[in-house]
Amino acid sequence: MSSIARLLASVPTRLWIDGADTDPVDGGHFSVVNPATGAVVAEVADARGKDALLALDAACRVQDEWAATAPRERSRILRRAWELVVERTEDLALLMTVEMGKTLAESRGEVAYGAEFLRWFSEEAVRIGGRYTEAPSGNGRILVTKAPVGPCLAITPWNFPLAMGTRKIGPALAAGCTMIVKPAEDTPLTMLLLAEILAEAGLPAGVLSVLPTSDAASVTEPLLADPRLRKVTFTGSTRVGKLLIEQSAQQVLRTSMELGGNAPFIVFDDADVDGAVTGAMAAKMRNGGEACTAANRILVHNAVREEFTAKLTERIAALRVGPGYEDGTELGPLINDRQRGAVAALVADAVDAGARVRTGGHVVDGPGYFFEPTVLDEVPAGARIVREEIFGPVAAITGFDTEAEAIAAANDTEYGLAAYFYTRDLDRAMRVAAALESGMVGVNRGVISDPAAPFGGVKQSGLGSEGGTEGIDEYLSTKYIALPA
Ligand code: NAD
């Protein structure tokens, strides 16, 4: 038996409700596919509304007890979960590679990154503060306390099957909230295994439930309509985020929204061009380009554009494409045929509009959902690829002549999640960082995600921050207690 078959035979595939593997009330299941081959690798239980309400019943039953659990104890459980996730790195990494497609090296990186949210928030659990002050008028005292918001729903995407879960689960549990996770349909297995690990770490039954489903709305809508749910936290497309904000209005839910991006990556004429090429490789090709922080528009000063483009093209053309679990693979498949079709359509549109293909540009024939690593140069402003999230291994390069022109182009989008730029000029670095309409800015670096930093966007990229000391506030409500002087 191969290591993949052995792992798949041992991972949970049923719903995780109230601390137990559970069959769906209606008994359905759906297939999980290996995007490197197109073959079905698992049949997973398919939740519906009735299962969702059972999970919410369990969450509500234990909410008060979990909130009253000593912060040190919540912290201890999260810390233990971090240890166990790290111990299970190889299993979790292989599972992610099989259901999502990224290379094993990237999956291992995600396990370390995703686990770190459990450790970081284990440390934040014991530092939830309030404040006390005297009223300026002298006629009263002000006490401010923090309390968990209550039962939460987390809806996670397929591109980071572990980390997008732990980034929500870590702070929610640390704050004393219960949580129901609806993982993405393409990648439910990683989250089911994580639930098992959290239980092994000592998480009481009911505090966390995981509901895979092939019909997201059938699970989320009954929860969002239920007055017992107090918050929804979502990572995914802006389209679905808007829908969830609308649906959340009914019960006036707290919302955290990590939505789409259209990150500019600017290379100024005073940049270290080799450093910028290395940064662009990370910002563009990390996770096969399937990241909301991925460099979507590479804007390069015309004085260095040819040098930068030639060097980036050489690196990208040399990437070894193949199944993520094969030795030497540097770029895996896209998540599914729909996503690959969307990437191919964006490339075709850009080429029609006048972009030049420097390498790649095509779907790879054969099994699996592979797309050639691609560089497009001279991408015109009117091309769809400039406005829409690519979510694939395609670098789209456009030239500019002045700093003002670069900033205007960078900000000319409804998104505002991540932005990157390269310069050696400190004054310019401060000026441009301030001028970019973006929740996160990378200066002379192509990777910005860090569990200790607040991840989040402005404009249509979302609401709220995940990670950092800010991350736990999303799961706390503020109470003001007025006291006599
Ligand atoms: P999506 O927004 O459709 O899916 C994200 C999550 O939302 C999944 O769990 C999905 O099941 C759930 N969902 C979908 N429809 C829903 C509904 N009506 N009600 C409740 N939940 C629902 O994203 P996708 O289709 O997987 O990817 C499409 C595009 O979204 C990508 O090309 C990319 O641009 C963007 N995306 C962004 C991120 C990010 O990290 N910001 C992650 C994934 C995808």
Complex prediction ipTM: 0.94
The answer on 117 and 12 residing in a single domain is yes
How far apart CA 316 and CA 187 sit, in angstroms, is 27
Ligand 1 atom nearest to CA at 342: 32
The answer on 319 and 181 residing in a single domain is no
The answer on 68 and 44 residing in a single domain is yes
CB atoms near residue 459 (< 10 Å): 17
In the predicted structure, residue 1 carries a pLDDT above the cut 70: no
Burial 12-44 (b: 16+ CB within 10 A, else e): bbbbbbbbeebebeeebbbebbbbbeeeebbeb
Question: 263 vs 84, 418, 421, 454, CA distance in Å?
Answer: 34, 5, 10, 17
Ligand 1 atom nearest to CA at 156: 9
Domain enclosing residue 336, as ranges: 263-450
| CA–centroid distance, residue 158 to ligand 1 (Å) | 8
Tell me if 455 is assigned to some domain: no
How much is the average pLDDT of 226-254?
98
How far apart CA 407 and CA 423 sit, in angstroms, is 13
How much is the average pLDDT of 27-55?
98
Tell me if 398 is assigned to some domain: yes
State the pLDDT at residue 314.
98
The answer on 207 and 225 residing in a single domain is yes
User: Locate tokens 């456009």: which residue?
Assistant: 398
> What confidence category does residue 2 fall into, taking pLDDT thresholds of 50, 70 and 90?
confident
State the pLDDT at residue 346.
98
List pLDDT tens digits, range 280-327: 999 999 999 999 999 999 999 999 999 999 999 999 999 999 999 999
How much is the average pLDDT of 215-233?
98
How far apart CA 156 and CA 153 sit, in angstroms, is 10
The answer on 321 and 224 residing in a single domain is no
Identify any residues that bridge with 42 across adjacent strands, giving them in sequence order: 32
Ligand 1 atom nearest to CA at 241: 2
| CA–centroid distance, residue 236 to ligand 1 (Å) | 4
The answer on 168 and 187 residing in a single domain is yes
258 is catalytic: yes
> What confidence category does residue 431 fall into, taking pLDDT thresholds of 50, 70 and 90?
very high
Tell me 455's DSSP state: B
The answer on 351 and 249 residing in a single domain is no
The CATH number of residue 148's host domain is 3.40.605.10
pLDDT, mean over the chain = 98
How much is the average pLDDT of 1-28?
95
The CATH number of residue 383's host domain is 3.40.309.10
List pLDDT tens digits, range 183-208: 999 999 999 999 999 999 999 999 99
Tell me if 457 is assigned to some domain: no
How much is the average pLDDT of 30-53?
98
List pLDDT tens digits, range 61-108: 999 999 999 999 999 999 999 999 999 999 999 999 999 999 999 999
The answer on 157 and 216 residing in a single domain is yes
Catalytic-labelled residue, pool 258, 372, 466, 474: 258
Determine how β-strand 254-258 pairs with β-strand 462-463. antiparallel
The answer on 334 and 255 residing in a single domain is no
Tell me the whole-structure pTM to 2 decimals: 0.98
Would you say the CB of residue 455 lies under 6 angstroms from ligand 1? no
| CA–centroid distance, residue 240 to ligand 1 (Å) | 6
Residue ranges in 256-398 assigned as alpha helix (H): 273-285, 305-317, 337-352, 384-387
In the predicted structure, residue 333 carries a pLDDT above the cut 70: yes
The percentage of the chain sitting over the pLDDT mark of 90, rounded to a whole number, equals 99
The answer on 231 and 368 residing in a single domain is no
Number of domains the chain is built from: 2
Best residue among 180, 240, 258 to mutate for probing ligand 1's pocket (most ligand atoms within 8 Å of CB) is 240
* Alpha carbon distance, N-terminus to C-terminus of the chain: 73
Would you say the CB of residue 186 lies under 6 angstroms from ligand 1? no
Tell me 473's DSSP state: G
CA trace torsion 441, 442, 448, 452 (10° rounding): -60
How far apart CA 13 and CA 43 sit, in angstroms, is 7
| Spatial contact of 48 and 219, defined as CB atoms under 8 Å apart | yes
How much is the average pLDDT of 362-378?
98
The answer on 325 and 313 residing in a single domain is yes
Query: No. of H helices and E strands in the chain?
Result: 15, 20
Would you say the CB of residue 304 lies under 6 angstroms from ligand 1? no
Residue 227 carries which side chain, given as an amino acid letter? P
Question: 346 vs 333, 361, 385, CA distance in Å?
Answer: 17, 10, 6
Residue nearest to atom 38 of ligand 1 (CA): 236
Would you say the CB of residue 259 lies under 6 angstroms from ligand 1? yes
Q: Which of 302, 226, 173 is nearest to 54 (CA)?
A: 226
Determine how β-strand 263-267 pairs with β-strand 418-422. parallel
| CA–centroid distance, residue 157 to ligand 1 (Å) | 6
The percentage of the chain sitting over the pLDDT mark of 70, rounded to a whole number, equals 100
List pLDDT tens digits, range 375-414: 999 999 999 999 999 999 999 999 999 999 999 999 999 9
| Spatial contact of 294 and 284, defined as CB atoms under 8 Å apart | yes
In the predicted structure, residue 173 carries a pLDDT above the cut 80: yes
The answer on 226 and 273 residing in a single domain is no
Burial 193-203 (b: 16+ CB within 10 A, else e): bbbbbbbebeb
Tell me if 456 is assigned to some domain: no
Would you say the CB of residue 391 lies under 6 angstroms from ligand 1? yes
Tell me if 326 is assigned to some domain: yes
